[in-house]
């Protein structure tokens, strides 16, 4: 992909992010932070590439360490978000 194509995706995604995030209810701002944290760990993709490719042992080790950190975040982030969201309950109607 050339640079301009990537840049277009980036700029459009910023706008999508802007509108989507404004529609998040303030009551869920803490889960929002937890889940954005989890998804920003998609950086694990880079870490996986580094650890899968031969060529540099140092790069591979750095990659593996990054995989560990990003995994803490992914699993921890999604799990804690799930736990929080499960707590939000409506009034029981009698």
Partner 1 sequence: MHELAPVSPFVALAYLVSGVLFILALRGLSSPSTSRRGNRMGMVGMAIAMVTTLYTHDVLSLPEILGAIAIGGGIGFIIARRIEMTAMPQLVAAFHSLVGLAAVLVGAAAYLNPGAFGILDPLTNEIHNASRIEMGLGVAIGAITFSGSVIAFLKLNGNMSGKPIMLPGRHVINLATLAAILGLIAYFVTDQSPWIFWTVTALSFVIGFLLIIPIGGADMPVVVSMLNSYSGWAAAAMGFTLGNTAMIITGALVGSSGAILSYIMCKAMNRSFISVIAGGFGAEAGPSGGGAAAADRPYKRGSAEDAAFLMSQADSVIIVPGYGMAVSQAQHALREMGDMLKKEGVSVKYAIHPVAGRMPGHMNVLLAEANVPYDEVFELEDINSEFGQADVAFVIGANDVTNPAAKTDKASPIYGMPILDVANAKSVLFVKRSMGGAGYAGVDNEVFYMDNTMMLLADAKKMVEEIVKALAH
Window 14 to 53, contacts with partner 1 (CB under 8 A): 14, 16-18, 20-53
Is 27:50 a contact under the CB 8 Å cutoff? no
Considering only CA atoms, give the Rg of the chain: 18
Work out how close the CB of 12 gets to partner 1 at its nearest, in angstroms, rounded to a whole number.
8
Take residue 4 and report the two structure tokens written for it: 């301009």
Work out how close the CB of 19 gets to partner 1 at its nearest, in angstroms, rounded to a whole number.
9
Whole-angstrom Cα distance, residue 65 to residue 47? 8
Is 94 near partner 1 (CB under 8 A)?
no
| Binding to partner 1 in span 69-88, by CB under 8 A | 69-88
């Amino acid at each position: 992909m050339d640079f301009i194509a990537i840049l277009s995706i980036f700029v459009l995604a910023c706008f999508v992010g802007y509108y989507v995030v404004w529609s998040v209810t303030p009551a869920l701002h803490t889960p929002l932070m937890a889940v954005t944290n989890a998804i920003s760990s998609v950086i694990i993709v880079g870490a996986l590439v580094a650890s899968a490719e031969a060529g540099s042992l140092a790069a591979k080790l750095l990659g593996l360490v990054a995989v560990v950190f990003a995994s803490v975040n992914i699993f921890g982030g999604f799990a804690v978000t799930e736990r929080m969201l499960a707590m939000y309950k409506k009034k029981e109607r009698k």
